[in-house]
Amino acid sequence: MFTLEKETLEKMGAEITTREIRQQPELWEETITLFQQASKELDVFLAEVKKQANDQRTRVIFTGAGTSQYVGDTVVPYLRKHGALKDFSFESIGTTDIVAAPEEYLIKEEPTLLVSFARSGNSPESLAAVAIADQVVDTIHHLAITCAEEGKLAQTTQEAENGFLLLMPKRSNDDGFAMTGSFSCMTLGTLLTFDQTAIEEKQDYVHALSSLGKEVIARETELQKIVELDFERIVYVGSGSLAGLTREAQLKLLELTAGKIATVFDSSMGFRHGPKSFINEKTVMFGFVNNDVYTRDYDLDVLEEVRGDEIASGVFAITQPGERNFSGDKFEFETETTLLPDGYLALAYIMVAQTVALLTSVKVANKPDTPSPTGTVNRVVKGVIIHEYK
Q: pLDDT higher for 180 or 379?
A: 180
Helix axes 24-52, 181-194, angle to 10 degrees: 40
Q: Note the pLDDT tens digit of each residue in 289-336.
A: 999 999 999 999 999 999 999 999 999 999 999 999 999 999 999 988
Report pLDDT for 276: 96
- % the chain with pLDDT above 70: 97
- The SS3 call for residue 72 is helix
**Residues 181-209 pLDDT 10s:** 999 999 999 999 999 999 999 999 999 99
Average pLDDT over residues 81-97: 96
Residues in CB range of 52: below 8 A, 6 or more apart = 111, 139, 141
CA distance 114 to 130: 8
Q: What is the pLDDT of residue 379?
A: 56
DSSP state for residue 260 in the 8-state scheme: S
User: At residue 45, what are phi and psi to the nearest 5 degrees?
Assistant: -60, -45
Buried b / exposed e across 36-65, counting CB within 10 Å, b at 16+?
eebeeebeebbeebbeebeeeebbbbbbbb
Stated pTM of the model: 0.96
Query: In 3-state terms, the chain is what percent helix, strand and coil (to 5)?
Result: 50, 15, 35
Residue 169 has pLDDT above 70, yes or no: yes
How far is it, in rounded angstroms, from Cα 171 to Cα 26?
Answer: 10
Q: How far apart are the C-alpha atoms of 374 and 372, rounded to whole Å? A: 6
Question: How wide is the angle at C-alpha 107 spanned by C-alphas 167 and 119, nearest 5°?
Answer: 20
Query: How many C-beta atoms surround the C-beta of residue 285 within 10 A?
Result: 26
Q: Taking the alpha carbons of 12, 16, 21, 23 in that order, is the dihedral positive or negative?
A: positive
Please count the CA atoms within 13 angstroms of the CA of 70 that sit on its side-chain side: 24
pLDDT at residue 336 in the model: 87
Work out the average pLDDT over 236-252: 98
Q: Which amino acid is at 283?
A: T
More confident residue, 123 or 35: 35
| pLDDT at position 385 | 84
DSSP result, 188-226: HHHHHHH--S-HHHHHHHHHHHHHHHHHHHHTHHHHHHH
The answer to whether residues 35 and 193 touch, using CB atoms and an 8 Å cutoff, is: yes
Cα gap 80→287, rounded to integer Å: 23
pLDDT tens per residue, range 254-273: 999 999 999 999 999 999 99
pLDDT in tens, 95-149: 999 999 999 999 999 999 999 999 998 888 999 999 999 999 999 999 999 999 9
Q: How many residues does the chain have?
A: 390
Tell me the three state secondary structure of residue 236: strand
Work out the average pLDDT over 229-233: 97
pLDDT at position 386 is 83
Q: How deeply is 326 buried, as exposed, middle or buried, from its count of CB atoms within 10 A (0-12, 13-18, 19+)?
A: buried
Mean pLDDT, range 168-177, rounded to an integer: 95
Position 372 confidence tier, pLDDT thresholds 50, 70, 90: confident
Question: Three-state DSSP class for 378?
Answer: coil
Phi first, then psi: give them for residue 46, nearest 5 degrees: -70, -35
Q: For the chain, what is the mean pLDDT? A: 95
